[in-house]
Each structure stands twice: as C-alpha cells, then as structure tokens.
Amino acid sequence: MPPRRKQELPERAGPELLARVEDFRGQALARKVIEAYLQRGRMAGTILLLGERGLGKTTLASLIARSLVCERNREQHAGQRFWFCGECYACSSIASGNQPEYVTVRPRGQDITVTQVREEFDGFSSALLHPSVLSHRIFIFDDAHHLNEETGNQLLKLLEEAPERTVFIMVSDRPGMLLPTIHSRGQKIRLSPMSAAELRAALLQDEPQAGGDAVAEAVRMSAGRYVDARWLLLNRDWREAVKRLAAVLGGGRGELAASARPLADMELARLWDKELSDSGLSEEDAAKLIPAARRNTLARLALGLAYDRAAWWALTQQPLRRGILDALAEMKTRVSQNCDPELAQAALSVRLGI
C-alpha cells in the first residue's frame, strides 16, 4: 500500500461552479422542457426536479434559477430563454454565494426541520414578501424528501397562498418519499441516466487529459450518471476502492468492514471538507465547534455512500448476486436511520451470507 496522503479533492461540478447553461451535459429532453416553459413564461411556482442520484439535478436547479432571475435574459431574447449572462448583479451575486433572495436548503441531519429553516433563513415568512433585489425569490430544496412533516406543512401553507414572485425548486432522487401534497402540486421535470456513448463523449470533452481506459471504466461504473462518472474519473483511488468493496459484496469473499473502510474514509474526507467550506471555520476550530453528534452523522452518511457506490459497480457486473441491490438499499437506510454502522454491517453480512 502506498503511504496515505492527504485526500486531494477534485473540483466538483457543483451548482456554483457551472458558469454557463451550455456546460451542462446530457438531459436533452429535460433541457427542452425547461426551455419551452421559460420561453412561454409558463415556469410554475413549484418545480420538482426528479431522477436518480448523480444526474446533475442540483446543478440544473441552479441553472434554472439563474435563468429566471438574470437581468439580461429578457432584454437579450425578447422573452426568457434557458440562459443567463453570468455578469449582471443577479448572476454575480448568486455565483458569489452572497444573495439573500436565493436560498439553498440541504438536510443537515436526518430531516429538514423547522428549526433548521428558521436558523438558516429566518423561516418561511420571507417567502411571502416580494423580492427586493431579484425578479424572483428562489428557494432550492436539495433532497426535498427529507422535509419532515412539520416543515412540509409550513411549506404547503405557503404554496397554497402561492406568493407570486417566489419560486420553489424541489430536488429529489426519491419522489416516492416526497410529501404527497408537494409531489402532486409541482411541475415535474425528470432526468434520466445518459447512454454510455453520450456519457463517454461528455467525459472526453470535459476531461480531455484523462486516458481512454479510465474514461471507459468511469462510464461502466457510473450507470449513466454524469456527476459520479466525472468524480470517479478524476479519482483513481475511489475507483479502486469501489471495485474492492463491490468484489467483496458480489463475490462473498473477504472482510466486508475492512473493504468498506477505505472508501468510507474517502467519503468522510469529502463530507468533512464540504462541512468546513460551508461553515467557514478553520479545520482546528471546526474540530472544536462542530459537535460529536454531527461528526457521527457524517461518518454514517459516508458509510452509506460507500455502499451506494459499490452498488453501482455491482450493477454493471454479471452475473449479479440475487438480492444484492435490495440488501444494499436496506443497509443504506439502516445506516441513515441512525442504526449503529457495525450492526447494520453485520445484518448485511447475514443477509448476503458472507
């Protein structure tokens, strides 16, 4: 084993980083739908972006929002297009992360709670006010299926009153878990996995320095998900760790926990890095100020993600052991529901007979 070096984290194609709509890959159908809604001025007050993890839903949410509020969009196109300039006050203030009328909410723990909503943007009361600096007030709910009932009910009351210039964009990879009233109310835009050829072409275009073999492997491992394919392409260590874990899960050999650990560690490093950049704290201060409970949540999330990544790779392997995907899904749920990770792993081992 080479000596462990500090995890180098590649730039992730996050919503803030994509400078132009043209840089978004794949999802031609969804983009056509969005373009048509914007051109006809038919974009609803509640938009649901649905589809598997790793397809770029959150990125797309930010592109839609910026197209809606860009000050030059209407001027330049005699109507709205799926486009934004990137330079006007609206575009640049959103890109700098410093725009109070553009809010992104992500679950901090198990649920998106009323307390979180109150702490992060002073509750939903602002949603009833006309925006004062942007043309629309934007709320993006990432993983919106984590809205708990109380938060969901507050939000629903708001949606019923339908504030005219407030737009809610709900992003979810589990539409079945969305509160039914939110699900039935929103304008749905669905994303689907890219074909292997399309994904390969996109990766070669965006990462021209990557070798053909690495691209081919990232395509095989990512089941048509661009965000994940790019991530795996840029991280050889991750690809190897995912493969090791998948081999154990698929073949029933070796130590499950030992194989999961390197991948979970890498996921944890990434989550921790994100936590640091979100909190604006130094690593030293964060270690002191971020409570142990939060760190445990991150560790559990990392383990769940490790199994999730192994599941994609297992998906591409034939023959697939019966029940492995169900077992992995159950494992992920158990881990995210605060079950002790070691107990969850033991349950998975029993279920898979390894």
**Is 247 a binder of Zn ion (CB under 5 A)?**
no
Nearer to Zn ion, 132 or 209 (CB): 132
Q: How far is the CB of 3 from Zn ion (least distance, A)?
A: 47
User: Interacting stretch for Zn ion, rule CB under 5 A, among 64-72, 99-107, 148-156, 253-261?
Assistant: 64-72
Q: How far is the CB of 81 from Zn ion (least distance, A)?
A: 12
Q: How far is the CB of 170 from Zn ion (least distance, A)?
A: 24
> Please, what is the Cα angle at 259 between 258 and 260, to 5 degrees?
95
User: Interacting stretch for Zn ion, rule CB under 5 A, among 12-20, 65-73, 248-256, 319-327?
Assistant: 65-73
Nearer to Zn ion, 93 or 113 (CB): 93
Binding to Zn ion (CB under 5 A): which residues in 195-224? none
Q: What is the distance between the alpha carbons of residues 94 and 114, in angstroms, rounded to a whole number?
A: 24
Longest dimension (CA), the chain: 64
Nearer to Zn ion, 135 or 154 (CB): 135
| Residue choice 43, 48, 63, 91 for contact with Zn ion (CB under 5 A) | 91
Amino acid at the residue 317: Q
Q: How far is the CB of 68 from Zn ion (least distance, A)?
A: 10
Amino acid at the residue 293: A
**Is 88 a binder of Zn ion (CB under 5 A)?**
yes
Q: How many residues bind Zn ion (CB under 5 A)?
A: 6
Q: How far is the CB of 168 from Zn ion (least distance, A)?
A: 21
Q: Which CB contacts under 8 angstroms, 24+ apart, belong to 338-345?
A: 338/110, 338/300, 341/299, 341/300, 341/303, 342/257, 344/303, 345/256, 345/257, 345/260
Binding-site string for Zn ion from residue 39 to residue 58, where x marks contact by CB under 5 A and - marks none: --------------------
Range list of H helices, 188-255: 196-206, 212-221, 226-234, 236-251
Which residue in this structure is represented by tokens 């074909």?
Answer: 195
**Is 81 a binder of Zn ion (CB under 5 A)?**
no
Nearest CA-CA partner of 348 in 220, 223, 237, 245: 245
Q: Which two tokens stand for residue 231?
A: 């991530």
| Cα separation values, 220 from 29, 106, 266, 319, Å | 23, 29, 21, 15
DSSP, res 122: S
Q: What is the distance between the alpha carbons of residues 346 and 300, in angstroms, rounded to a whole number?
A: 15
Strands 102-105 and 166-172, by their bridges, are unpaired
Binding to Zn ion (CB under 5 A): which residues in 265-304? none
**Is 85 a binder of Zn ion (CB under 5 A)?**
yes
**Is 135 a binder of Zn ion (CB under 5 A)?**
no
Q: Please give the sequence-ordered ranges of beta strands (E in DSSP) within 66-132, or none if there are none.
A: 102-105
| Residue choice 70, 191, 263, 306 for contact with Zn ion (CB under 5 A) | 70
Q: How far is the CB of 32 from Zn ion (least distance, A)?
A: 22
Residues that bind Zn ion (CB under 5 A): 70, 72, 84-85, 88, 91
